[in-house]
Amino acid sequence: MNDLLGRPLRNLRLSVTDRCNLRCEYCMPDDDYVWLPREDVLHFEETSALVDVFLSLGVDKVRLTGGEPLLRRDVPALVRMLAVKPGLRDLALTTNGVLLADQIDALHGAGLGRISVSLDTLRRDRFLKLTRFDQLDAVREGIAAASRVYGQLKIDTVVIRGVNDDELVDLIEFGRSVSGEVRFIEYMDVGGASRWSPARVVARPEILETLTRHYGAIAPIEEPGSSAPAERFLLHDGTTFGIIASTTDPFCATCDRSRLTADATRGLDLRAPLRQGVSPEELRALVAGGWQRRDDRGAEDRLALGDRRAFVPVQDLLKKDPHLEMHTRGG
Ligand code: SAM
């Protein structure tokens, strides 16, 4: 099933909570947020029912995200419900890693397939400044645990000029030591990134140049037909890494992602019909209709603007409508 721009529905990003235990300056820079009321957040049974609808429409990859997904109580129980679904080929989790070490065995036992941990710096003082919490050691323990249990993982790093752009080599070396493939993400002007400016973006060519200076020639890895946002590269010693150039070279044209927010009311309200007890067929028709009307390509539209500034410049607006923020939409 394709949308108006011919893009198939393949991927579902499932935000299980809007809450987070870090305050990354590029995502949740404020002290206080208006959280979704708990009663509005989907129960696991409701989430599972909606995942069935998405699977019946062609989705075969689901990623749990947030907010910080591991803040939601008993995420392994949700994983257990999803992992057994026929048609689901790939069940992954994106986490900041703070609570990962404690939960890794339960997540793995429940059937979680893959893990990505977000990590922007290896320096404790920077981590504290960037996230406002002194949790680098916990994240490193989480990464070590994921590496032990899964044998490999992905490490997602947002590169920001003047913040961590001098750590690219260190991060690749760290990644290698834990069997983690680093993916460098260009800083995006999404809701929440109220301090974004074009000057703070380190674009793909610059990332490649820095790494080439240190490692020598870097070879792109050809992955024909892939809709994955990361382009992957190979260092001469066999180490691989990725770059997600979502700001300077957006991948809207191949974006097959749908997003289900924790309360399932953004864009298309699925919670109300679900709670009114409509049939799975009616839910299916709603989601199908929504996807078939889809024509957004936000990152490309913003790139075309030329004179860019933070996506949602008015902080008050974000505070009044939590649905605009990355942590609510699901990162
Ligand atoms: N809390 C989890 C985590 O930290 O991985 C999941 C949610 S978080 C919003 C998902 C990803 O979005 C993280 O890797 C984060 O670094 C990234 N992200 C948030 N704001 C961003 C921005 N302005 N530009 C690029 N990536 C961003």
Contact indicator for 141, 181 with CB cutoff of 8 Å: no
* CA 331 to centroid of ligand 1, rounded, Å: 5
The three-class DSSP label of residue 25 is coil
For CA atoms 328, 295, 53, 83, give the dihedral sign: negative
Which mutation among 93, 158, 195 tests ligand 1's pocket best, with the greatest number of atoms within 8 A of CB? Answer: 158
Count of beta carbons in the 10 Å neighbourhood of residue 277: 7
- Helix (H) or strand (E) run with residue 76 in it: helix 75-83
pLDDT of residue 299: 87
Can you read off the two tokens belonging to residue 119?
């990590």
* CA 118 to centroid of ligand 1, rounded, Å: 7
Can you read off the two tokens belonging to residue 107?
């997540």
DSSP 2-21: B-TTS-B--EEEEE--S--S
Q: What is the pLDDT of residues 7-45, one digit of tens each?
A: 999 999 999 999 999 999 999 988 889 999 999 999 999
DSSP 105-158: HHHHHHT--EEEEE---S-HHHHHHHHSS--HHHHHHHHHHHHHHHS-EEEEEE
59-to-3, 253, 281 alpha-carbon distances in Å? 13, 18, 16
Instruction: Report the nearest-CA residue for atom 2 of ligand 1.
Output: 95
pLDDT of residue 310: 64
pLDDT at 318 over 50: no
| Those residues with Cβ within 8 angstroms of residue 280's Cβ, 6 or more apart along the chain or in another chain | 49, 52, 53, 56
* CA 243 to centroid of ligand 1, rounded, Å: 14
118 lines ligand 1 (CB under 6 A): yes
Per-residue pLDDT band at 314 (split at 50, 70, 90): very low
pLDDT at 313 over 50: no
Per-residue pLDDT band at 315 (split at 50, 70, 90): very low
Q: What is the pLDDT of residues 38-87, one digit of tens each?
A: 999 999 999 999 999 999 999 999 999 999 999 999 999 999 999 999 99
pTM (2 d.p.): 0.94
72 lines ligand 1 (CB under 6 A): no
* CA 280 to centroid of ligand 1, rounded, Å: 32
Per-residue pLDDT band at 207 (split at 50, 70, 90): very high
311 lines ligand 1 (CB under 6 A): no
* CA 181 to centroid of ligand 1, rounded, Å: 17
Residue 27: alpha-carbon gap to chain centroid: 12
